[in-house]
Structure 1
Amino acid sequence: MQADWDIKSRAHTCAQTGKEFAEGDFFYTLLYRDGDGFRREDLSEEAWQSRNDNIQPFSFWRSRYEPPTPPPPEPIPKDDAESLLRRMLAEQNPERANVCYILALMLERKRVLRPVESSDEDMLVYERAGTGETFVLRNPHLSIEQIPAIQQEVGELLMAG
């Protein structure tokens, strides 16, 4: 019985010529038995035409090359939210307590900040993952109705930054 095997995803260059595939180019994928598993080769049309016909692959097919889609950008990069929080805390502006609270919650959700138990329910203590830095901010005790407006303010601040 055949052992489990792992086939690599398509290459972005021809295995024979080293030339990069361009969007829309046709290429051939060849699977060869290799020991107990399989080996994949992706060939350009040119390399396919000049290959050695005596060496037969286990399987092959022709495809049209599509470049990989780039990963979607993170809606709010971690560093932007963190640098904004650091700046707001350094300003020590009590009018920004709500913004600091929402930023801290965002960073907690991304596992950048970890909440630490505090005996004072009016203060929130966070530890930054990796560095161990401590962030202390006022708990604004927001109601659920207040949060959307503050989230919008945070979004505007992040976009402006």
Structure 2
Amino acid sequence: MQLEIDITSCSRVCAATDRPLQPGDVYFSLLQLEANEMIRKDFSAEAWQGAPDECVGWWRSRVPAKDDSQPVMAPIDVMLNLFEALEEVPAETEFRYLLGLLLLRRKSLRREDSIQDDKGREVLVLHCSRREKDYELIVSEPSPEQAMKLQQQMFDLLYGTREVTPAVPASQQRTE
């Protein structure tokens, strides 16, 4: 049985006051793992009281003006915290694998080795020089349909409320 992480995108409403966040407003986002579900909460600057101890990560952002076209990604430390937290959620192996690939692409992680675990699965050994730590990442490639869904969830979580345009249409993706 697979547990899906259903992560909402930036709500543009303060979680503490229910006040709508307006273009140009500074706000804070945090991620929390609650009952194997990743929750994102957004707070206006006025309502922000700091991150609780149990949060995976937090960051400061500004609601984009209507003419802003580029979303801003969550900080690398937040993505690394999420990557570490998902290690404890075995049902999210595919999501963690895609996040690991993103961190590799952004050069936050470096591939050191490839091994096989006791179940015969390929496991990448990754190193993070930022944290001086090694991680194991189970290679778990999702189906093209699942990859698009996970990619959208990741985009909503780490960027905001923008649709993801796939680089390769699902009909042309390899299904090996």
TM-score with structure 1 setting the length:
0.46
Larger Cα Rg: Structure 1 or Structure 2?
1
TM-score with structure 2 setting the length:
0.42
